[in-house]
Each structure stands twice: as C-alpha cells, then as structure tokens.
Structure 1
C-alpha cells in the first residue's frame, strides 16, 4: 500500500474509533442532549487531526445523534419531548405492522432467530447495562421485522428504534427505580409465542400494548423529573 493509501486507512480507523466512542456516549447519555461537541477538543481527546473527527460527526449526524448547526458548531441531538407523541404514533404503526407480518410469514429459522435475540435481551437485563439492553431490545425487534419479509417497513422500523434508544434508556431507568422488574421480557415472550402460533391479531395487540407501555412509562418518567435537572436539550 502506498503512503496515501496507508494514510487513508489510518484516518478511516481514527474516524471509526471517534464515531463508535461518541455514539456509545450519546446513546448511554454520558454526553447529554444539547451538549456542544467541539472539533478541536475532540481532536485533542482522540489524539488525531480534526478531519477524522469531522467525518465521525457527519456520520453521527446521518444517524440523527448530533446536529450540525449553521455556525459550524455541532451539538448532541436534543430529545424533542414535544414531538414524542408523533414519534410514538409512528413507532406503534411500524411495530404492529412488522409484528403482524412476522406472525403471518415467519419460518422456523425466523423463530429460532427471534428466540435467540430474546435470550440475549434477558441476559442483558441481568447485567443492568442499559445500553446493552437497548441494543438487545433493538435486535429482538429487528429479528421480528426480518421475519416479516418487508425490507421497506423493516428499514423504517429500524430508524425509529435507533431514534428512540436514548428514551428507552430513561425508560429502563424508570422501571428499575420503580421496582417493575420484568423490563419488557414478559411481553417479548408473549410476542414470540403469538408469532410462533401464527396468531396475527394477538401479535398485533401485543405489539400495540408494548408501544403503549413504553409511552406511558416514559411520560411518567418525565412527570417525575419535570422539576428536576433532566437535560433534554433545546428540543424540550
């Protein structure tokens, strides 16, 4: 490999490291919504030039995790509480449609994949690691979407799940602090059972209930913390 090629490879590795680290910190709320991300400071932190940092921030902007402002500043994407009802409305439609299709079209291989993702979610719950839990939760629901055989609906659903991971983090925190210990695992098992039995209507009802539980608990979390320092960024 020539020197230019080697330089691009090293820069690409640096950009990936910066992206992956910042993504983890944003999703786990270590970096708070609305927090300024200064390219120079990040370049110093990661011991690299500003160019790979900029590339990492552009990728994060494409994932709706940061917002690049007109003055060339970048902030962690706010959690827009005012838009939450519309978000949940879209999530409910996507969740129900993908789950209905899975119940109708699933194969035995799909069932094995969904069950494996559910086991991984339960293992993540046992660790108490909210980021691992939200990642495993997404994997469970995407296994259902794959079983539904509609890549367009699955892609829309995946984007919504990604956009909601920080809210799900707060949701898990609320359930743990209020001693509601099942943390979605019971509902996941019931959804898997309905899909296994090809019970489309029950799968639909469970998917709807699943979204409603997330909505209600997140809103209770917000009410509980309304007068406390819950940084949600400018969108709040």
Structure 2
C-alpha cells in the first residue's frame, strides 16, 4: 500500500513539475507564441514518461496557455493582439473597481499585506527577473482585490491578470530598454497611499492611469519589435 502511494505521489509530482516548468517558460516567452510542443521531446528532457507531460498540456490548455490544433498537435497559444483593446477595456474596469473597493473597505492588516507585496515587487524589479516581477505584480494587485472584499470581482480580475502576463513581460522589456522601469513601482506606491488615505476617487484615477500606461507601452513595443515577427491570433492588421 505504501509503495502504491509513493508511485502515485511520484506521478503527481512529475506532472506538477512538467506543468510548472512549461508554464514558467511560456509566461517568460522562453517558449514563443505559436511554438510547437512535442510530448516526446519534453518527456525526454524531463526524464519522465509522456503521461505527466500530457497532463501538463491539458492543464495548460485549460488556462489558455496552449492550443490543441485539429491535427492534435499542441502549440503555445498565440498572443491575440487584435483582441487587446477589448482585453484592456475589461482589465481597466476590473482594476478600477477592485482598487476603489480596497480604498473604501481596507483594514490596517490589508495595508500591511499590500505594502509587503509591493516590497516583493521592488526586490524582483531590482534583480531584473521578469518572471518574478510578473508574479509579484499579480500578487500586489490581488492583495488589493482581496482588500476590496468582493470575491466575484477579484476572481474576474485574477483571470485577466493571468491572461496578460505574457504581454506584461513585453511591457517590462520595453520599460527596461527605454529606462522607464521605475514607473510601475511609482504607480504601485501611489496606489497604496491612496488606499491608505481611503481616497476612493484618487485610487480609481491611479488604477486607470496604471492600465493606460501598460496599454500604451505594450502597443509601442509591439509596433517597434514584433508586429511582423511574433505569431499573433487572427489576420494581421496594423496596431
């Protein structure tokens, strides 16, 4: 019985390792949008059978990170630039509403958690690790959402943040190249202070400006670097 448990645990660990490794490489763009993913290749790379890799693909497909084609091959999901304006529209609404609620309903304990999340982001930014930065950025914003005490809005917001993490990596790349990497940190600090002051309207305005900055920098980055080179969903159109 113990042997069977060990086998099951080992199998689960293998699938989790494959999932976490592939997820990190997709989010960091080490696996490019549109890249073909072969079960056998990754099984050999990870030193495991194809089953846990297949499980990882299924889980990633459920999160919209990979796509299974009609011929049953699997690719990294393209970045859908054509739907980007609609995405940003939804992100803006969710970000503003959650930040407004946090400013209205936050507790002192919430402020401590938000400040700690911001500290983690600053440390990740100092190291220049984009994967750590995108995870810390999500944690910062989700800590704000949790302070807003609306699990429905927070859940919607979290899905949007997850969907945008690859685009955020490009955003970080743009800020780093143009030497404007301090802007996100400054935005976060201002949002925290507005929430601390219970200034609902300022928190709303800052959240809106934060989304707008992400939108504008991402579009500029794509125009300069990837409009022709990166696989995008749908027919090509100018940004």
Residue 181 (structure 2) aligns with? 181
Q: CA deviation at 1:43?
A: 1.2
Q: Specify whether residues 162 and 89 from structure 1 end up closer, same or farther in structure 2 by C-alpha distance, changes over 3 A only.
A: same
Q: Specify whether residues 191 and 208 from structure 1 end up closer, same or farther in structure 2 by C-alpha distance, changes over 3 A only.
A: same
Residue 99 (structure 2) aligns with? 99
Unaligned ranges ≥5, structure 1: none
Whether the aligned pair in 1 keeps the contact of 2:33 and 2:78 (CA below 8 Å) is yes
- Aligned-residue RMSD, C-alpha: 1.4
Residue 139 (structure 1) aligns with? 139
Q: CA deviation at 1:228?
A: 5.6
Residue 7 (structure 2) aligns with? 7
2-structure distance, mates of 1:4, 1:77 = 36
1-structure distance, mates of 2:49, 2:27 = 24
Moved over 4 A (4+): 233-236
2-structure distance, mates of 1:24, 1:226 = 21
Whether the aligned pair in 1 keeps the contact of 2:96 and 2:204 (CA below 8 Å) is yes
Q: How many residues align?
A: 235
Whether the aligned pair in 1 keeps the contact of 2:34 and 2:78 (CA below 8 Å) is yes
Q: Provide the TM-score with structure 2 as the length reference.
A: 0.94
Residue 159 (structure 2) aligns with? 159
Residue 75 (structure 1) aligns with? 75
Whether the aligned pair in 2 keeps the contact of 1:172 and 1:183 (CA below 8 Å) is no
Whether the aligned pair in 1 keeps the contact of 2:81 and 2:233 (CA below 8 Å) is no
Aligned residue for 2:83, secondary structure, equals: helix
Unaligned ranges ≥5, structure 2: none
Residue 17 (structure 1) aligns with? 17
Aligned residue for 1:184, secondary structure, equals: helix
Q: Provide the TM-score with structure 1 as the length reference.
A: 0.95
Bigger mean CA offset, 206-215 vs 71-80 = 71-80
Q: Specify whether residues 56 and 218 from structure 1 end up closer, same or farther in structure 2 by C-alpha distance, changes over 3 A only.
A: same
Determine whether 1:232 maps to 2:216. Answer: no
Bigger mean CA offset, 43-52 vs 80-89 = 43-52
Residue 194 (structure 1) aligns with? 194
Q: CA deviation at 1:69?
A: 2.2
Structure of greater relative contact order (alpha carbons < 8 Å, 6+ residues apart): 1
Determine whether 1:29 maps to 2:29. Answer: yes
